[in-house]
Structure 1
Amino acid sequence: MGNTHPGATSPLGMVSACAYSGAYPTGYGRYAKNTEGVPEEMFDRLQASGFTHFQQSGTGAIRKYYNYVRVTPMVQPLDDLGQSWPLEDERAEAGYYAANLDTGVRCEITVGEKVAVHRYTFPDHHSARVVVDLSCGGLGIDLGRTIPLRAQAESMGHGRAQGTVVMEGIPLSVFIEVESPGWRQMLWYDRRLIPGGTRLDFDSIRHTTLRPFGMLFMGPTRAGQTIEVRMGFSLRGCDQARANLERECGAAGDSAFETVKARTRASWRNHLGRIQVDGGTPARRTVMATALYHSLIKPCIADDESPNWPDPGPYAFDVCTMWDIYKTQMPLLSAIAPDRYGDMLESLIRVCEEEGNFPIGYRMARGADRFFRQASALAHTALADAHALKRPGIDWTWALVHMVDDLRRLYGEDFWEHGVVHPITHTLDLAYAHHCTAKVARALNDHRLAADLERRSQGWINAFDPATGLLKDSEFYEGGKWNYSFRLIHDMAGRIELAGGDRAFARMLDRFFGYGCEPVKQPGRGPDPIEMAAGYALNRFEGLNNEPDMEVPWAYHYAGRPDRTAEILNSALTWQFGTGPGGLPGNDDSGGLSAWYVWASLGLFPVAGQNMFLVNTPAFERATMQVEGGEFVIETSGFRESPIGVDGIDRDPAPQYVQSATLNGRPLHATHLTAADVHHGGRLHLRLGPEPSDWGHGNRPPSLSDPHPKEQR
């Protein structure tokens, strides 16, 4: 369950659109909500009651899943609204989704940054209709609905209508144009038409008082006749929604579908073309392209759309799983979409100013999702990296003020006073955030502040039990102490010494990854809690379905064993990802997991907050990234293609190991690069071989207590 959907999206755009079943995970699926094991099926087929807008991508058990403004093409009476029909002949491309309803209607959708355009091809019928349901929201499962708080709808005639629904405190406005000459339009409430009515107003809606409402357009169709529905969205009112529609779709009366589709397709081609790979199996190239696509759907970044502050500027939402994306996806956006990445950081700073916290999760809702259990103070890593790269457009003095203030909020207050806080993982988060903030403070010549922050950043050691070399007993979110004990903190040299040195640390990692152990039986449908508890008690790598484990394969680098990293990455890339349904090993988490795949396939891993990339064996013979400084090329010699079965899937490829490396023609003995090395462009050459070498054993990545390691300890 990657929890993604095949609907139409634009790169980092505000609007998405997809078929709506009401089931988990995104409203497109057919499952009941679950957090462990294989999910229970709600339906035995793909089906839809219409097509909704604003979907999550890859998230797990978060509170709500938008699915606002449902559009349903019908040849049935309005009483049948909400009924689901089988989906047939689905087709999905970047920026485009199409399917047949078994009512005989062909449905196509494309989106721009702030618009959606639907095209419906009807059968011959005396009374076809397009129904817009403004009351729809969330999922059709227990406690899954999102109820509008207030709403208004207006029928303006001549195929035009508009409305605003306040969902979770946010006013979502839509302006609609329906190209349907000769059709009638009306408002409806509780599945009853309101003849002659031009406006609906609801000042207060509750779960007990909600009745569906919206607009309807209807008239006769001949076989093969198409009806186009153009929709502009805004979080700042109907006038801006109309302006967005005109900007992206052109004048009323003009067909916009092909124009918007072509523009979004070109935008996707531009974004996806920023990483090119050669070699590797067809399956790997397919998964790589898909992973890059999923990495560029979220967050949604909309210019001049904040409903919470009136000023112009970028507004980013669906920063839903910061505890995943700060490690992988945010560094990817920084590398290949730096302008939009800068807009996201600017928006996060503004959220902190307006709401008092850097968000751990931030959706299209009033107030940040604080996700107290997951993590603390994660935006500091992205800001530290951006400052080190001299990102323009950010007032760094202003940013530093908010970085420092945020360290004292929530769990940070206890850390400030005691140097340790439970859940113990927050101690690591906060110590690391102090380190990142100290780097910005020192660069801005506030040396007194920097010294204090650096001293507090050493509190990472308070999280560990010297007797075991692992984290202290505590509560852990989606994992246990083993999952969290191998994070790439700012003082890995000190952390390895605490574990007993290189060999002892490597042995702990070997145990975690199951070297020499029997395979673990995976849980099935509805696993018993006893079975799940026994699995967690193994203290093993759970695979990449668990965000704390994302960075752990790279911890071997700090112990001088990059060969182990190569083995684990080769296994994960081969066996945990595929081209069909179920091709992701767990929640994609807003692109965090897919971005991990992109980096691992390139043979790089960004160490967020440390302005550094770790280097290992890539999955492709050659790759090129378009970065600010031009091209960063990763090329290999001795690359061996994996054996392929008849179905195109890799067949048990043996890992390859780096024998030597050069950067821009000069020998590279270390297993790391600075982020500037990558962002400024250059050429990394890796000579590969079938056996481990001594490359990287003696020159480790820097650590706080050992910033220039040279010799093997």
Structure 2
Amino acid sequence: MKTFSTILNLAQVLVPAVAAQSTDYSRYVNLFLGTDNGGNMFPGVVAAPFSMTKIGPDVRNGRAEAYSGYLPDGVITGFSMMHESGTGGAPKYGVVSQLPFSGDLENPLSTDIFVSRSADDEASVGYYKTSLSSGVVVELSGTEHAGLFTYSFPSGNTSTLIVDVSHVLPSFRGMGWSQGYAGGNFSYFPDGHYEGSGTYNNGWNLAPDWTIHFCGRFSASPSTSRTFSGSSSSSIDQFDTQTTVNGTNRVGGVFTFDQSEFSSTVGISFISSERACQYADDEISSGTSMSDLVQRSRDRWNSDVFSRITTSSTNDDALTMLYSSLYGMHLLPSNRTGEAPWPTDEPYYDDFFTFWDTFRCHVQLMHVLQPRAYEEVIRALIDIWRHDGFMPDARSSNFNGRTQGGSNADNVLADAYVKGVRGAINWEDGFAAMVSDAEDVPPPNNDPSARDSSTKEGRGGLPDWKTHGYVSTNYTRSVTRAVEYSVNDFALYQVARGLGRSSDASKYLSRSHNWQNHWSNSSAGLGHSGFMVPISPEGVLDAEHDPLDCGACYWAEDYYQGLPWEYSMNPHHDMASLIAMAGGASRFVDRLEAMFTPGNAPGNSPDDTIFNPGNEPSLSTPYLFHFAGAPARSVRRARDAARAYYGPGRDGLPGNSDAGALQSWLLWNMLGLYPVAAQPVFLLHSPWFSNVTVDLGGGRTLAISSEGAADADSRPHGPDTDVFVQSVRVNGQAWPRSWLAFDDVFADGGGAVHFVLGPRPSDWATGPDAPLPPSPASFPDDDARSPPCEKTGY
């Protein structure tokens, strides 16, 4: 039996010979990178960047959470069409499922219907293979709205395929976040195809009922076809040749085939089963082979994503990390243009999970690498506001939620605006959407995890924020919200200023300083004093709050997924004020160093640091030395973090990918740049490679080169020693500052940055006359902004 993977393996042997003519960067992508160690990556088929369909196995292993559907161990309960990647919280989707079963099937509702694997799964870009202990081999490929499932059964047994409309990914966390099945319909037609829909609800974002439609056909005619309906695993109301079943019961179809090899093609749509059929017919037309789809997918990823960053390095580990990271950051959000839940001519994107995770460095890289899609996302966010009243901080299945801290879509819009993204964006509407976040209190959604205010959208703590200039402990996540509301208001200031709304700009700039109201000089630890602390409903500071104590650090606490120490470092728009309040530059550097000292974190581990490389409140921390005039320390700490916590294998991420947030952090580390959110500013540190070219589109490139680090391309994480910047030239000119502005290298025709690296820190960009990175909320006239202009988005 020759499966497609046999042909695939033969083709991969030939890749190096062909590479000189047309490089196949996809060969460097390890789809299982980040599937262990809590990375929760999805290794299945994603046929194109931001594809609506994400096709792969759904695995059950006790009470383990299969966030993306995949677990390395356990039994398979189905192969389904929709998944998310790299997320925490709770699993989402796992819908439109089918499962091969070798032999006769008496009860398709049985909880014992699952299959085990006989070998490790195999995956490459556009392709997935699972070998089952029953002898069945399943191979997957697909398109943006359809999937191709190819089955090879052992001879001698009945070839059975189950389509279960009720199938979803469950959650076992016991927090009320598991998805539910609310009903469906399934119809089998005389021409051999089937159609239907399923309605589901809940999940991490507490979504109400939503419906997905599907349409499937087979390459061979089934020898038997039966539908089923039942209320539970032991209650079958109907299992016969009736062609249509519907209702709130579990429904689906069971098909048997005389052939041992056949394929199944399925399209999906949020609009109708008719559209799902059209997707299947148009995107996987009759005669399309799996090899056709795989090659089409690889061509798409190579041209649209991988070729955007190229280097002459030949280090396999480094290249695996580079191109696997590029792949991983392009899985979410999902491009559902044409599938919006309302009539619109605007683009539509869903599965933002979440801007709390991605506003710091992911969207900035998306802007650089995918300017067209980036502009479409901005337009989609504004259109969601037009129809739903708020932009999402998170969103899936056409429903906003959950908001963890602030309204961080505001930061995303501001980041685009100050970098000149205009195109077809209606920025008057964009600012109005931001004002809704800043002024309108969202109605409570009665979230059991935090009943004090809405977790669906907007800023639930606005009553305090607008009245008092702080968020009291009347509201959960009070300090987290205060930090993020300050940054969100700074985002409004940025756009208001650009639009010439001076009164609004003044108002929101003033509000962006409100994080300071939570500051207490009496909060102390590890030889440092002055941290952000909770404020009681009566307005009293918890003045001596331990900066290493965040309680359970979750929804009901004052600090969400981060220590007070971490959050006290997060007003990146107002760094000059923060450094002054922390005791000046020297004390600030010492405070930062304490975050990287093993054993300083709460708990019993002598190795743990306050800096948490897998959690978003710490992502920018290694680079904050720049603001205190010590860029060499940023280089050392950022490179150490990359070397210690990232790698090319299954455990190559330090935590949840969070929709590509961690991959984008690593990519910026490789490039030697780091963005400052909602500002047109990039901090210069130390690139991994002697040369990198970034394709900016429209014939523009950014060329990054370095010299003095002879072994930079021979180690997976860059050199251990020669990483310190001795000098920098930008566009051929000597560059005395540790940062550059967006327009310096990303606008117009692009640019070039050349680093000279060495084994020891130098005095580059240091000293009293060296310009520090801007602190625009501290000094509003010093923000690296270009004059307002009407640039296109791509």
TM range (shorter): 0.7 to 0.9
- Contact kept? 1:557, 1:696, Cα under 8 Å: no
User: Residue 369 of structure 1 is aligned with which of 401, 412, 416?
Assistant: 401
Match of 1:245 in 2: 280
1:50-85 Cα offsets, whole Å, 9 max, x none, are: 3122122111123x4211122111212224752231
Match of 2:147 in 1: 116
Cα gap change, 1:263/1:649 in structure 2, threshold over 3 Å: closer, same or farther?
closer
What pairs with 1:375-394 in structure 2 (closer than 5 Å)? Answer: 375-388=405-418, 389-394=420-425
In structure 1, how many angstroms separate the alpha carbons of the residues matched to 2:667 and 2:579? 28
What pairs with 1:126-205 in structure 2 (closer than 5 Å)? Answer: 127-139=158-170, 141=172, 145-168=178-201, 169-181=209-221, 183-190=223-230, 194-202=239-247, 205=248
Give the Å deviation of 1:394: 0.8
Task: Give the alignment's Cα RMSD to 1 decimal.
Answer: 2.5
1:633-678 Cα offsets, whole Å, 9 max, x none, are: 111111231697xxx8669823511111111101111111212334
SS of equivalent residue, structure 2 residue 580: helix
What pairs with 1:225-304 in structure 2 (closer than 5 Å)? Answer: 225-250=260-285, 253-270=286-303, 271-279=305-313, 281-304=315-338
- Contact kept? 1:137, 1:145, Cα under 8 Å: no
Cα gap change, 1:281/1:464 in structure 2, threshold over 3 Å: closer, same or farther?
farther
- Contact kept? 2:726, 2:764, Cα under 8 Å: yes
Identity level (%): 26
Q: Where has structure 1 moved over 6 Å in runs of 4 or more? A: 536-539
Please say which of residues 560-569 and 430-439 is displaced more in the overlay.
430-439
What pairs with 1:298-313 in structure 2 (closer than 5 Å)? Answer: 298-307=332-341, 309-313=342-346
Cα gap change, 1:260/1:538 in structure 2, threshold over 3 Å: closer, same or farther?
closer
Match of 1:60 in 2: 88
* 1:74 counterpart = 2:157: no
Please say which of residues 164-173 and 19-28 is displaced more in the overlay.
19-28
Count of matched residue pairs: 663
Match of 1:464 in 2: 519
Match of 1:399 in 2: 430
What pairs with 1:9-20 in structure 2 (closer than 5 Å)? Answer: 9=46, 10-20=48-58
Cα gap change, 1:27/1:397 in structure 2, threshold over 3 Å: closer, same or farther?
closer
| Unmatched runs of 5 consecutive residues or more in structure 1 | 32-44, 521-532
Match of 2:684 in 1: 615
- Contact kept? 2:672, 2:684, Cα under 8 Å: yes
Cα gap change, 1:628/1:460 in structure 2, threshold over 3 Å: closer, same or farther?
farther
Please say which of residues 586-595 and 672-681 is displaced more in the overlay.
672-681
In structure 2, how many angstroms separate the alpha carbons of the residues matched to 1:413 and 1:277? 51
In structure 1, how many angstroms separate the alpha carbons of the residues matched to 2:60 and 2:503? 55
Cα gap change, 1:633/1:245 in structure 2, threshold over 3 Å: closer, same or farther?
same
1:437-458 Cα offsets, whole Å, 9 max, x none, are: 1221222222222222222222
1:372-404 Cα offsets, whole Å, 9 max, x none, are: xx2112111111121222331111111111111
1:318-342 Cα offsets, whole Å, 9 max, x none, are: 1112111111211111111111111
1:530-587 Cα offsets, whole Å, 9 max, x none, are: xxx6259999434312211001111100001111111112211112112222221111
User: Residue 342 of structure 1 is aligned with which of 350, 375, 380?
Assistant: 375
SS of equivalent residue, structure 2 residue 512: helix
TM normalised by structure 1 equals 0.88
SS of equivalent residue, structure 2 residue 96: strand
In structure 2, how many angstroms separate the alpha carbons of the residues matched to 1:382 and 1:650? 30
- Contact kept? 2:690, 2:713, Cα under 8 Å: no
In structure 2, how many angstroms separate the alpha carbons of the residues matched to 1:663 and 1:643? 22
TM normalised by structure 2 equals 0.79
AA partner of residue 666 (structure 1): Q
Match of 1:703 in 2: 775
- Contact kept? 1:75, 1:125, Cα under 8 Å: no
- Contact kept? 1:22, 1:140, Cα under 8 Å: no
User: Residue 331 of structure 1 is aligned with which of 345, 350, 364?
Assistant: 364
AA partner of residue 150 (structure 1): G
SS of equivalent residue, structure 2 residue 661: helix
Match of 1:419 in 2: 469
Please say which of residues 296-305 and 542-551 is displaced more in the overlay.
542-551
SS of equivalent residue, structure 1 residue 147: strand
In structure 2, how many angstroms separate the alpha carbons of the residues matched to 1:48 and 1:289? 29
Match of 1:654 in 2: 721
Give the Å deviation of 1:145: 4.7
Cα gap change, 1:382/1:177 in structure 2, threshold over 3 Å: closer, same or farther?
same
| Unmatched runs of 5 consecutive residues or more in structure 2 | 1-37, 202-208, 442-459, 473-477, 523-528, 536-557, 785-794
Cα gap change, 1:445/1:281 in structure 2, threshold over 3 Å: closer, same or farther?
same
Cα gap change, 1:86/1:539 in structure 2, threshold over 3 Å: closer, same or farther?
closer
In structure 2, how many angstroms separate the alpha carbons of the residues matched to 1:391 and 1:542? 37
* 1:677 counterpart = 2:744: yes
